[in-house]
Amino acid sequence: MRVLIVGSLGGQLHAATKIAMDRGAKVAQVDTISQATNHLRAGRGADLMMVDAALDIAALIASNEAERITVPIVACGVNITPDMAAAAIRAGAKEFIPLPPDAELIAAVLQAVADDERPMIARDPSMTNVIELADKIAPSEASVLITGESGSGKEVMARYVHSKSKRAAKPFISVNCAAIPENLLESELFGHEKGAFTGAVARRIGKFEEADGGTLLLDEISEMDARLQAKLLRALQEREIDRVGGSQPVKVNIRVIATSNRDLRKAVAEGSFREDLLFRLNVVNLALPPLRERPADVVALAEHFARKYAAANGVGNRPISEAGRTALLARSWPGNVRELENAMHRAVLLASGDSIGPEAIRMPDGSLFGAAPASGVAQRAAETAEGVQRMVGKTVAEVEQGLILDTLDHCLGNRTHAANILGISIRTLRNKLKLYTEQGVSIPAPGETRGAA
């Protein structure tokens, strides 16, 4: 855990630093918000920022976002009124800690950030076999390709491999290749020199350099364009990178883990992915089974999420009833672990009584998972006729928009999963959603539906 303290914390800097370090955190400190952004831009990194509430938190977040840097912020202050604390939260802080600091409170905040990385929970043999292979190869320097459906836990597995490796004490840096626009991904990975392009106001250290000594996760590697694939291949072969606009290569010492929910061999055959890069990445393949193929994990994961969200929402921990377990096991979980987590978060909030029953395990729109639609030839015919009638009079673009947004609702806002169902690339989907947003159309955020927004 890397903690960056920004400001003097009302004279409580030494006490807060000592508590964080006693909890195993590596602590750095700067005085101003501009120094904080410069610290992060220089590749020193942070998993959490503790920021003096007297500083302009909104300006700090805006400065970081301009550099595509996202680090959770906890505001801290002395003699802060409830209104001031609320203002810090509205500005973008995740939590507020009053000062002088309470050791247990800081420990809880640090633990909450660590929990976001999610523990590896596996009971099913199909998953424990993958973990056994991960344990064997983790201490090596071999590149690893983790494959599996969206939401099956690929990043969790990547963090697990890093934690078991010889690099565990060094940084674990993750880059989602599908979430960053193509024209920015090169700078994000390799960094840039001042003046390399419009807006490059200072040198920016890329993720390769930030991960030096540790592990770099290239999430959804299949979405990287061909030109960057060639540059990535050279970086993996030569263990050196070129910053955008730079004149000298930079040596890096990293282990690369890549993930994909697409069949990369098929992508190679289609010409969208380099075969030599696949060979370089796929030294070891960890193929994660979907949740429907690991039934013994469903209840274990559900119990973990129930405890997690009960604590996060300040409600009493409730066990899952036998009927609730039956309901969980009856579902195929097309959204995998991510869908199960969202369902259990809702269940914790909806449950009444001493346990979580099937009545609390619901879809985002409030309907029960077990509530199957009416079946039969007549019903299906009626549904088909109704669907055709709804489309009459609409343009192809309008029908396409409705299909895309309905699919996104079904996937709880997960762009990658929706793109797979629709049979289009994540980049095409992002461009469509950008167009809809510009037209004023409501787009579901990740983890949400339009009705829940």
C-alpha distances (whole Å) from 102 to each of 2, 20, 48, 72, 316 are 19, 11, 17, 20, 23
2-115 matches 291-360 in fold: no
C-alpha distances (whole Å) from 447 to each of 149, 172, 299, 427 are 17, 24, 21, 19
User: Averaged over 212-217, what is the pLDDT?
Assistant: 94
pLDDT tens digits, one per residue of 321-378? 999 999 999 899 999 998 999 899 899 988 888 899 999 988 776 666 654 443 444 4
CA distance linking residue 174 with residue 155, whole number of Å: 9
Which of the residue ranges 32-36, 315-319, 362-366 has the most confident prediction, judged by mean pLDDT? 32-36
Are 292 and 340 contacting, i.e. CB atoms less than 8 angstroms apart?
Answer: no
| pLDDT value of residue 188 | 87
| pLDDT value of residue 441 | 87
Q: Name which of 85-89, 200-204, 264-268 the model is least confident about.
A: 200-204
Strands 240-241 and 250-251: antiparallel
Asked if residue 305 has pLDDT above 60, the reply is: yes
Averaged pLDDT of the chain: 85
What number of residues does the chain have? Answer: 453
| pLDDT value of residue 191 | 87
| pLDDT value of residue 294 | 93
pLDDT tens digits, one per residue of 157-173? 999 999 999 999 888 99
User: Averaged over 133-139, what is the pLDDT?
Assistant: 96
The more confident residue out of 110 and 426 is: 426
Are 447 and 412 contacting, i.e. CB atoms less than 8 angstroms apart?
Answer: yes
| pLDDT value of residue 389 | 55
| pLDDT value of residue 163 | 92
The more confident residue out of 417 and 402 is: 402
Percent of the chain with pLDDT over 90: 38
Are 1 and 116 contacting, i.e. CB atoms less than 8 angstroms apart?
Answer: no
Residue 193 banded pLDDT, cuts 50, 70, 90: confident
| pLDDT value of residue 384 | 45
Domain ranges of the chain: 2-115, 132-287, 291-360, 378-438
| pLDDT value of residue 58 | 92
Q: Name which of 79-93, 306-320, 369-383 the model is least confident about.
A: 369-383
Are 143 and 170 contacting, i.e. CB atoms less than 8 angstroms apart?
Answer: no
User: Averaged over 73-95, what is the pLDDT?
Assistant: 84
Prediction pTM value:
0.69
CATH domain 291-360 topology: Helicase, Ruva Protein; domain 3 (1.10.8)
User: What CATH superfamily classification does 378-438 receive?
Assistant: Homeodomain-like (1.10.10.60)
Percent of the chain with pLDDT over 70: 91
Q: Which CATH class is domain 2-115?
A: alpha beta
pLDDT tens digits, one per residue of 170-191? 889 999 888 787 778 888 899 8
SS3 sequence, the chain? CEEEEECCHHHCHHHHHHHHHHCCCEEEEECCHHHHHHHHHCCCCCCEEEEECCCCHHHHHHHHHHCCCCCCEEEEEECCCHHHHHHHHHHCCCEEEEECCCHHHHHHHHHHHHHCCCCCCCCCHHHHHHHHHHHHHCCCCCCEEEECCCCCCHHHHHHHHHHCCCCCCCCEEEEECCCCCHHHHHHHHHCECCCCCCCCCCCECCHHHHCCCCEEEEECHHHCCHHHHHHHHHHHHHCEECCECCCCCEECCCEEEEEECCCHHHHHHHCCCCHHHHHHHCCEEEECCCHHHCHHHHHHHHHHHHHHHHHHCCCCCCCECHHHHHHHHHCCCCCHHHHHHHHHHHHHHHCCCCCECHHHCECCCCCECCCCCCCCHHHHHHHHHHHHHHHCCCCHHHHHHHHHHHHHHHCCCCHHHHHHHHCCCHHHHHHHHHHHHHCCCCCCCCCCCCCCC
User: Averaged over 373-384, what is the pLDDT?
Assistant: 44
| pLDDT value of residue 125 | 93
CATH domain 132-287 topology: Rossmann fold (3.40.50)
User: Averaged over 287-305, what is the pLDDT?
Assistant: 94
Are 246 and 193 contacting, i.e. CB atoms less than 8 angstroms apart?
Answer: yes
| pLDDT value of residue 181 | 79
User: Averaged over 285-302, what is the pLDDT?
Assistant: 94
Contacts of 351 (CB under 8 A, 6+ apart): 318, 357, 360
Contacts of 337 (CB under 8 A, 6+ apart): 151, 152, 153, 156, 291, 301
User: Averaged over 299-320, what is the pLDDT?
Assistant: 87
